[in-house]
Amino acid sequence: MKNINWDDLRYFLSVARTGSLTGSAAELQVSQSTVSRRIIALEQDLNTTLFARHATGYFLTDQGRDVLRKVSAVEDSITALHIGLADLDANTEGTIRLATPESLAVNMIIPALPEFISRYPKLRLEIISGVGVADLSRYEADLAIRLVRPQSGNLIMQRLGAMNSAIYASADYLHRHPAPSSDPTSGRAFIIWDRAYSHLPTASWLAKQGYDANPALITSSVAEQYAAAKSGIGLALLPSFLVAHDADMIEVIPNNQVFSEDLWLTTHADLRSSVRIRAISEFLKELIARYQPAFSDLA
C-alpha cells in the first residue's frame, strides 16, 4: 500500500455522505472529474474498491464502510484537537446562536444556564429550538446539536455520545391498565407522533413495532407526549434524560429493547478555533455527562 494522500480522504468522506459525484463536487466546489480522479487515486493507494458505481449514485462497499468508520474517527479527533487549542477564561465574550432539539433546550440546557452565565458572564447564548433544522451553512446558527450526522456542508462535527430512549408511563396509568410482565404493552395504548413527523426515528420505531395502531393520543412534540404520559393518558417513547428526575414516571420497556440515537455537535469549519464555540461546547459536554446513564458512550 502506498502512502495515503490525506486530502483524498476529504473527497472520500464527501462522496460517502452525499452518495454522488455531483453532490460532492457541489459541496467541495470542484469539478466532478476532480472528485472522480481523487477517489480513484485513493482506491489505488489502498488497493481496494471503496464504492460500487451505479447510475443512481455511489454506494459504499464493505471495505468502504470500514474505511468510513476509521476516517470518521480521525475526523472527530481532529475536531476535538481544534476545539481544544483555544484558551478559555471568564472574559470570553460575544454571542453564540445554538440550534438544538426543544426537549434538550427546555429540560436540560436552559435549567443549567445560570451556571453557564456565572462562568461566562460576558457570553450571550441565543437558543433556536424545534423539530425543524436550522441551516448552519446559511449561518442560521453558529453551533447545533443534531440527532442525525449532517451529510453535507463545510462543517466540523463531533459525536457527543448516545441519547437513550425507553417506553414510559405514569404510575397511575399502569395501575389503571395492568398488564403481564411478559407483555407490558398488552391492553395499553401509545401516545404517538402526528403523521407529518413520521420520518422521525421515534415515530418510525413505534410504527415498526405496530404501536401506532389505535393510539391514545396523537401529538406534534416531545413536550406534549411527556405531558400526556405524565397525565396518565398512555405509554410514550421518550428520551431517558427527560424523565430522569421524575419519580412518577415508570420505565415499561428499557432502552436495551428500544433504541439510542447518536448526538452530534456541529459548527462551521471557519469557527473551529472560536473561543466562544469552545466555551459552549465544553459546557454542553459537561452537562450531558451529568445525565448518565440517560446518555451513554460519551466522547
Local confidence band at 73 (pLDDT 50, 70, 90 cut-offs): confident
Same CATH fold, 163-260 and 94-161+265-296?
yes
What pLDDT, on a 0 to 100 scale, did the predictor assign at position 241? Answer: 95
Residues 243-280: tens digit of each pLDDT: 998 999 999 999 999 989 999 998 877 776 788 888 89
188 against 259, higher pLDDT: 188
C-alpha–C-alpha distance, residues 178 and 173, integer Å = 8
What pLDDT, on a 0 to 100 scale, did the predictor assign at position 18? Answer: 87
Provide mean pLDDT across the span 172-188.
96
Q: At what angle do helices 62-84 and 275-290 cross, to 10 degrees?
A: 110
Position 136: which residue type?
A: L
Q: Where are the domains of the chain?
A: 6-63, 94-161+265-296, 163-260
6 against 257, higher pLDDT: 257
Cβ neighbors of 197 (< 8 A, separation 6 or more) are 131, 203, 220
Q: Which helix (H) or strand (E) holds 295?
A: strand 295-296
pTM beyond 0.85: the answer is no
What pLDDT, on a 0 to 100 scale, did the predictor assign at position 157? Answer: 84
Provide mean pLDDT across the span 283-291.
93
Superfamily of domain 94-161+265-296: Periplasmic binding protein-like II (3.40.190.10)
**CATH class of the region 163-260:** alpha beta
**CATH class of the region 6-63:** mainly alpha
Provide mean pLDDT across the span 128-151.
70
What pLDDT, on a 0 to 100 scale, did the predictor assign at position 86? Answer: 47
